[in-house]
Structure 1
Amino acid sequence: MCDPGRTRVGRRQSGPSGARMDSRDATGDGNADRRWVRDVLRRHLGPGARVGDPTPFCAAGDGFASEMFSVETEDGPLVVKTLPGEPRRSARRLDRQFANEARFYGEVLPFLLGARAGEDDIIARMFPRFVCAHADPGRALVAVEDLRPRGFRLAPKTLDLVHSRLALRALGKFHALSLAAKRRTPAEFQEVVVAGAKHWRQLTSDELPTMMRECLDHAVQAYAEFFPEDKAGRAGDDLNRILGLVDSFDGSADPEEPLAVLCHGDFNRNNLLFGYGEDGVPTSLVLIDFQLATYCSPGVDLSLLLFLSASAEVRRLHWDELLLEYRTSLLETMQRLLGCGRDVLEKEYSAELFAEDFRRHCHHGFLIAIFFQPFLMLPPDLLASMDDGKTLGDVKSSVSCVMQNIGEEGRRSLGALVKDVIDKGYF
Structure 2
Amino acid sequence: MAPESLRKLVEDIAKENEYENPNITINPISTGGANYSSELFTITVSKSGKEDLHLFAKVIIINETIRSQMPAAIFDVERLIYVELLKKYEDIEIAHDVPLTRRLVVPKYYGCNPKIFEESIVLEDLSKKGYTTYDRFKPINWEYAAGAVESLAKFHALSIAYSEENPEEFKAFVEKTDFQKEMFVGMLHQMYEQRIQTTLSVTAEKHKDKLQKYLETHVNIEAIMNISQSSQRRVLCHGDYRPSNLMHKYNEDGTIHVIPVDFQTIQCDSPLYDLIYFIFTGSDEKFRREHFQDLTDHYYQELSNALRSLKLNPDVIYPKTAFELELKEYLPYGLLIAIIGLPIITVDVDNAPSMQGDGGFEVFSMAKTSSLYPERMNGVINDYFRWGIIE
The reply to whether residue 36 of structure 1 matches residue 5 of structure 2 is yes
The reply to whether residue 272 of structure 1 matches residue 246 of structure 2 is yes
The reply to whether residue 186 of structure 1 matches residue 171 of structure 2 is no
The reply to whether residue 238 of structure 1 matches residue 207 of structure 2 is no
2: distance between equivalents of 1:333 and 1:259?
15
1:291-370 correspondence to structure 2 within 5 Å: 291-338=264-311, 340=312, 344-370=313-339
Change (3 A) 1:394 1:101: closer
* Cα drift, residue 207 of structure 1: 4.3
Q: Which amino acid aligns with 2:344?
A: F
CA offsets 1:159-179 (integer angstroms, 9 cap, x no match): 112211111121111100011
1:2-401 correspondence to structure 2 within 5 Å: 33-46=2-15, 49=19, 50=22, 52-58=24-30, 63-73=35-45, 76-86=53-63, 90=67, 93=70, 95-117=72-94, 119-120=97-98, 121-124=100-103, 126-157=105-136, 158-191=139-172, 193-204=173-184, 206-225=186-205, 228=206, 234=210, 238-242=214-218, 244-248=219-223, 251=225, 254-256=228-230, 258-277=232-251, 281-338=254-311, 340=312, 344-383=313-352, 387-389=355-357, 395=362, 399=365
* Cα drift, residue 54 of structure 1: 2.0
- 1:402 is aligned to 368
2: distance between equivalents of 1:207 and 1:188?
29
- 1:18 is aligned to none
Change (3 A) 1:284 1:318: same
2:176 is paired with a residue of what secondary structure?
A: coil
* Cα drift, residue 87 of structure 1: 5.1
Change (3 A) 1:218 1:115: closer
- TM-score, normalised on structure 2? 0.84
- TM-score, normalised on structure 1? 0.78
- 1:6 is aligned to none
Change (3 A) 1:37 1:235: closer
On the 8 A contact 2:54/2:124 being kept in 1, the answer is: yes
* Cα drift, residue 199 of structure 1: 4.3
After superposing on structure 2, the runs of 4+ consecutive aligned residues of structure 1 that deviate more than 6 Å are none
2: distance between equivalents of 1:170 and 1:381?
32
On the 8 A contact 1:299/1:362 being kept in 2, the answer is: no
2:178 is paired with a residue of what secondary structure?
A: coil
1: distance between equivalents of 2:123 and 2:309?
28
On the 8 A contact 2:2/2:28 being kept in 1, the answer is: no
* Equivalent of 1:418 in 371, 381, 386: 381
Change (3 A) 1:388 1:95: closer
* Cα drift, residue 201 of structure 1: 3.3
**Higher relative contact order (Cα pairs below 8 Å, separated by 6+ residues):** 2
Name structure 2 gaps, 5 residues minimum: 47-51
Identity of aligned residues (%): 20
* Cα drift, residue 379 of structure 1: 2.5
- 2:49 is aligned to none
* Cα drift, residue 388 of structure 1: 4.5
* Cα drift, residue 200 of structure 1: 3.6
Aligned Cα root-mean-square deviation (Å)? 3.1
